[in-house]
């Protein structure tokens, strides 16, 4: 038995590379987190593609992280780099506090984050949404049968509720209360549950689905196929500037004039700060001008 074992001393694993730790985190920690699949893909991709992470994790410095940041900015947006940098920082902190790997500081704290681009302002017109559902072969009235039609159905539901794509895909019919007129989201992006009020239009949309088993998903399409179908539809419609998530901005901007105050809008969208809500509430100047004359 070694002296270190007798004294119950942890010996730093100086040979473990950052890539090794990224993979360990992806395998052991990410599966227990919401959004864990995204983390696993990003961490394993970084572990395999960037030589800077092939050195021992205790040897990684601020300049090493800065080198990765600058290389990454050549191929993805500043927002993407910031999300990945935050993930790397989380891994370093976990390794330092939980795995005792000999780290004494987090090198990510020594690196400046790239400046984010201006927040998206894209709204979705009636004509644009009709073009997209046409490509998905749905008439907006019939019960969806094919996967593409379900994607169109989800798109319209998002436009009526301001729910995120992931929230819609997580819904089961048991989460829909047709009497109280709300959808229950047990877990949202910010970790809280939320009750989403359902407008008459949203209720009408949901009721076109005749066969509603309580345990069945409201939209029976897997995330990967969902994204593929929506991207193809917007491409074929010549609307590459439209993202599915823009439906959340469109819904929030449409709802706002109907509500008494910003707190009601935040209760619907689930935003905890006015700063974040402002990213999604983008009223048209012409609409505001009309309200001034009302």
Strand partners, 17: 56
Angle, CA 159 vertex, CA 154 and CA 163 arms, to 5°: 70
Distance CA 19, CA 41 (A): 13
Residue with tokens 């864990």: 36
Query: What does each C-alpha distance from 28 to 24, 182, 186 come to in angstroms?
Result: 6, 36, 24
Paired strand residues for 183: 176, 196
Residues labelled as active-site residues? 164, 189, 245, 248, 271, 280
3-state class percentages of the chain: helix first, strand second, coil last, to nearest 5: 55, 5, 40
191-198 long-range CB contacts below 8 Å, 24 or more apart? 191/34, 192/270, 194/270, 196/161, 196/162, 196/163, 196/167, 196/268, 197/268, 198/160, 198/161
């Amino acid at each position: 038995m070694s002296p270190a074992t007798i004294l119950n001393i942890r010996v730093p694993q100086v040979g473990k590379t950052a890539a090794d730790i990224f993979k360990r985190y992806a395998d052991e920690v990410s599966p227990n987190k919401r959004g864990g699949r995204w983390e696993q893909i990003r961490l394993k991709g970084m572990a395999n593609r960037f030589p800077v992470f092939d050195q021992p994790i205790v040897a990684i410095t601020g300049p090493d992280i800065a080198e990765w940041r600058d290389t990454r900015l050549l191929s993805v947006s500043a927002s993407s780099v910031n999300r990945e940098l935050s993930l790397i920082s989380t891994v370093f902190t976990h390794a330092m506090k939980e795995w005792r790997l000999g780290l004494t500081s987090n090198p990510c704290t020594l690196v400046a984050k790239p400046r984010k681009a201006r927040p998206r302002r894209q709204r979705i017109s009636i004509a644009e949404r009709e073009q997209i559902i046409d490509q998905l072969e749905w008439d907006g009235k019939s019960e969806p049968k094919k996967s593409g039609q379900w994607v169109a159905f989800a798109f319209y539901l998002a436009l009526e509720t301001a729910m995120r794509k992931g929230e819609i895909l997580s819904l089961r019919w048991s989460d829909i209360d047709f009497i109280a007129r709300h959808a229950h989201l047990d877990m949202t992006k910010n970790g809280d549950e939320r009750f989403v009020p359902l407008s008459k239009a949203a209720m009408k949309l949901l009721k076109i689905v005749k066969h509603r088993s309580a345990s069945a998903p409201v939209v029976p399409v897997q995330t990967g196929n969902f994204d593929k179908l929506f991207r193809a539809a917007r491409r074929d419609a010549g609307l590459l500037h439209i993202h599915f998530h823009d439906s959340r901005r469109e819904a929030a901007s449409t709802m706002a004039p109907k509500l008494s105050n910003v707190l009601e809008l935040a209760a619907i969208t689930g935003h905890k700060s006015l700063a974040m809500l402002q990213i999604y509430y983008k009223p048209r100047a012409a609409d505001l001008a009309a309200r001034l004359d009302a």
